[in-house]
Amino acid sequence: MNRNNIWIHIGIALILVTLAAVLGQIDRWRAGLRPATSETRDIARSAGKPNAVKRSRSDSEPEVLVRFKPGVSMTQIAKLVARNNDRVEDNVEFVRGLTSIDDLDDADPAAVAAQYTAMTDLVEYAHPNYRIELGTPDAKPVEERFEDDVTSSPNDPHFADQWALNNDGSGGGRKGAHIDALKAWNITKGSSEVVVAVLDTGVDYTHPDLISNMWIRPENVPQYSDGELGAFNDRYGFNAVDNAADPMDENGHGTHCAGVIGAEGDNELGIAGINWKARIMPLKFLGRGGFGTTKDAIEAINYAVDRKQKGVNVRIISASWGSTQYSKALEDAIRAAGEQGILFIAAAGNSSTDNDRRPHYPSNYNLPNVISVAALDRTDSLASFSNYGAKTVHVAAPGKEIVSTWLNEAYREASGTSMATPHVAGIAALIVARDRSITVEKLKERVMAAVDKIEQLNGKVVSGGRINAAKALAN
């Protein structure tokens, strides 16, 4: 090839490169002149934020709970949340419009809640996903007893330690300062048709004194399924801490409460529950360290309501926990449970304070299905740690030095309104066992009316007395 031909080829190449650059620029100009579609508008509004990457629950807890107004569609909610670079973690099926939202920017939850609260045309309320924490359980091992030590019925070796059920005055107690379980058991010892949900740290469903009274999902009840969280083979209950099916207790608190309600009676083992026959459904929302969130409590309640609608006879939720932080979302979830005929029994708290002046939740929710419980010692005195409230705490029950089931096939003694609460739940279950069709309103009335009046409780609790199982069944 001669030199002249080389320059001709170089000139052609330069012309082609220049032409390609000009055409590319023209395409970019055209793109810039196109009218914005709805899709490009949404992208423009969120400019400057990275695209949301869907994360698993283990990556992030939702920061806020938002309830959207009626008429706001799920499509609208999804677009609004995405525009804020947030994600919908869950929609609570039984509280219409209630959504838990994960902020992908990790902003301050209060600021995120304020952002949604300001959307007054779309949002009813919004607040942070509050942390819930159990107090350090005052639980200690109990001296082992054997069936050979027992000469009376029931033959459970630790029944002699259960002063709350039958107080004979020993151990510094006052004779008759109890729930009168022996007399109640002449009427009914409970029923395996009655399901009591324990909303707590889970339950050790393999404990020998509980295993025969644990709820197991019947074959004719479908597995639990949640639109956002997925499907669960909920054989023994639900674990909202990990969004999992296994509600095994890793703390002990929930197992202790479960034993008070429904440890098998007269089986030559451990203790006797208030119900010798029952079905305990574990709802785990507090983890190994006793920590949880409002959202997890709501999720667990939502599970119980779903099971009720699928044919499971959930009549009572026992809730031995609380805080001074008011959550409208939790209140709405408990209301939804009441609308399905579920009584919600809650601990009044262990701060020695007046709940009329310093509210404690969920026990202070003024709902027709909520009962708030204070704690008594074995002399019928209000326990030194117990909260009270002439207008807001409904009944008192034994809650000090209570022996019950614990992890690893053990038994421990514990104190708190946490221990008083399952005594009321257990009595409510006895009532339902005898009157299967009783409404939640009548059930609450029956519990509150069935008390032994105690002078010291005047001005301290609404009913002015300690619950009595025998009276509850006689009414």
Residues belonging to the active site: 200, 253, 418
Tell me if 420 sits within 8 A of 273, measured CB to CB.
no
> Strand locations in 11-121, DSSP E?
64-68, 86-91, 98-103
- Distance (Å, whole) CA 398 – CA 406: 18
User: Around Cβ 453, how many Cβ atoms within 10 Å?
Assistant: 10
User: Around Cβ 19, how many Cβ atoms within 10 Å?
Assistant: 10
Q: Which pairing describes strands 98-103 and 64-68: parallel, antiparallel, or unpaired?
A: antiparallel
User: Around Cβ 33, how many Cβ atoms within 10 Å?
Assistant: 7
> Strand locations in 181-256, DSSP E?
190-200, 224-226, 230-232, 238-239
Tell me if 282 sits within 8 A of 253, measured CB to CB.
no
Residues whose CB is less than 8 angstroms from the CB of residue 343 and which lie 6 or more positions away in sequence, other chains included: 315, 316, 317, 369, 371, 428, 440, 443, 444
- Distance (Å, whole) CA 425 – CA 420: 9
- Distance (Å, whole) CA 434 – CA 19: 91
Q: Structure tokens of 90?
A: 């869950």
